[in-house]
Amino acid sequence: MRRLLDAAPQLAAPVLLLVATAAIAGALSRERQLEFENALVMAAVVVALYVFVGNSGVISFGHVSFVAVGAYLAGLVSIDPETKAFTVPGLFPFLRHAHIGIVPSLALAAAAGGVYALAVGLPLMRLSGLPAGIATFAVLGITYNVLSYWGRVGPGVQTLSSVPETGGWTIAAGAIIVVAVAFAYQRSRFGRLLRATREDPAAARASGIDVYRQRLLSFTISGALAGLAGGLYVHQLGLITPDLFYLDLTFVTLAMLVFGGVASLWGAVLGALAISALNSFLGDAENTVDVGFQLTLPNGTRLVTVGAVMALVLILRPSGLTGGREFALRWRR
């Protein structure tokens, strides 16, 4: 009981941060609201990524594939079939005729992300280090390539913009579920086993931990959460197009995770919200913003700054903003 109480702030802090983000979003103009909602979606994606990368210490460039699968599925099944017959006639029949609500579509997205991650993880979780990075990158390449050209699973290179949108509170609830699952997992026996393999694979194996199995479990959970985050993303934006789910999103989410601190849940949430805030501030500044004086930055400053911030953090403070620590009311040494 005591241990649970000690741990409570570790879950409460990121959840409160997300709730606060959603609450502030509700009070703002429509345009500003979209930026806050997007920050919540990013937090969900980054936490999903953290569940695997943070706990296992193995890099993955492939998580955006699971986000993409979740987004495509959640988006397509919730569009009105009559619209689909018109805009994406080549879809598989079960996708073309399906018409379900937003919440069930999110559950479906999570399931699809989990199944895809399991299928990918079965062979790939034997790898670690550099080969794991390259293999997961190859998965991303395949997913992007197939989604860009295969008319049976989506609109191809075109943009499909008739996905029903949802409000900030649904998105916040989804993000909170992702955080809660991540928290439960890392406090569970399996999360601890995986963290042990991160710290010292040889010692962990000598203690009887099946590294492959623990990684696969984590990868699958992480994939399911990424799928859910993808569902949130598509219902937040209201559109589907393959370019959303490729190198840019992979890079930005990794940058957020590294910036906050790869090894903690608190770091993942903080990093996602901080970089999102920076992103939208700079986005405004590119169209002139008033910060005591009129500030106008050239177009593209946003990208340069995010890239530079990530490079600097990696060089100067590789453990990120939080140094891999969870949120705590008292600083313990």
Partner 1 sequence: MNWGQAIADALALGALYGLVAVGIGLVFGVMRLINFAYGELITAGAYTLAYTGGWPPALSIAACVGAVVALALVQERVAFRPLRRLGASPATMLVATFAVSFLLQAIYLIAFGSRGQIVGTLGQLNEAFSVAGVDIRWILLVTFVTGLLLLAATAALLGRTSIGLHIRAAAADFRTARILGIEANRVIMLSFVVAGVLAAAVSVLYTVSNPLVQPSLGVPITIFALVGVVVGGLDRLWSAALGGFAVGVVYGLFDDVLSSTSSVYLPSVVYGVVIAVLLLRPTGLFAPLRGAQVERV
Residues forming contacts to partner 1 in the complex (CB under 8 A) are 58-59, 61, 123-124, 126-135, 138-139, 141-142, 145-146, 148-149, 197, 201, 205, 211-212, 247, 251, 254-255, 258, 298-301, 303-304, 306-308, 310-311, 314-315, 318
**Dihedral sign for Cα atoms in the order 142, 147, 152, 156:** negative
User: Which is nearer to partner 1, 56 or 236 (by Cβ)?
Assistant: 56
**Which residues is 294 bridged to in the sheet?**
290
Q: What is the SS3 assignment for 174?
A: helix
- CA proximity to 72, closest of 253, 222, 223, 227: 227
User: Which is nearer to partner 1, 139 or 163 (by Cβ)?
Assistant: 139
- CA proximity to 220, closest of 44, 103, 66, 59: 66
Q: Least CB distance from residue 54 to partner 1, whole Å?
A: 13
User: Which is nearer to partner 1, 107 or 146 (by Cβ)?
Assistant: 146
Pairing of β 294-295 and β 289-290 = antiparallel
Q: Least CB distance from residue 299 to partner 1, whole Å?
A: 7
Burial letters 13-40, b for 16+ CB under 10 A, else e: bbbebbbebbeebeeeeeeebbbbbbbb
Q: Least CB distance from residue 92 to partner 1, whole Å?
A: 17
Token representation of residue 241: 């197009």
**Is 319 exposed, middle or buried (CB count within 10 Å of its CB: 0-12, 13-18, 19+)?**
middle
Q: Least CB distance from residue 69 to partner 1, whole Å?
A: 15
User: Which is nearer to partner 1, 162 or 301 (by Cβ)?
Assistant: 301
Distances (CA, A) of 177 to 15, 46, 256: 9, 13, 19
User: Which is nearer to partner 1, 228 or 258 (by Cβ)?
Assistant: 258
Q: What is the SS3 assignment for 289?
A: strand
Q: Least CB distance from residue 147 to partner 1, whole Å?
A: 11
Q: Least CB distance from residue 145 to partner 1, whole Å?
A: 5
Token representation of residue 40: 């919540």
**Which residues is 295 bridged to in the sheet?**
289
Q: Least CB distance from residue 216 to partner 1, whole Å?
A: 13
Q: How far is residue 314's CA from residue 236's CA, in Å, rounded to a whole number?
A: 31
Q: How far is residue 239's CA from residue 76's CA, in Å, rounded to a whole number?
A: 10
User: Which is nearer to partner 1, 106 or 254 (by Cβ)?
Assistant: 254
Does residue 90 contact residue 151 with C-beta atoms inside 8 Å?
yes
Q: How far is residue 301's CA from residue 85's CA, in Å, rounded to a whole number?
A: 41
Q: Least CB distance from residue 315 to partner 1, whole Å?
A: 5
User: Which is nearer to partner 1, 180 or 297 (by Cβ)?
Assistant: 297
User: Which is nearer to partner 1, 136 or 236 (by Cβ)?
Assistant: 136
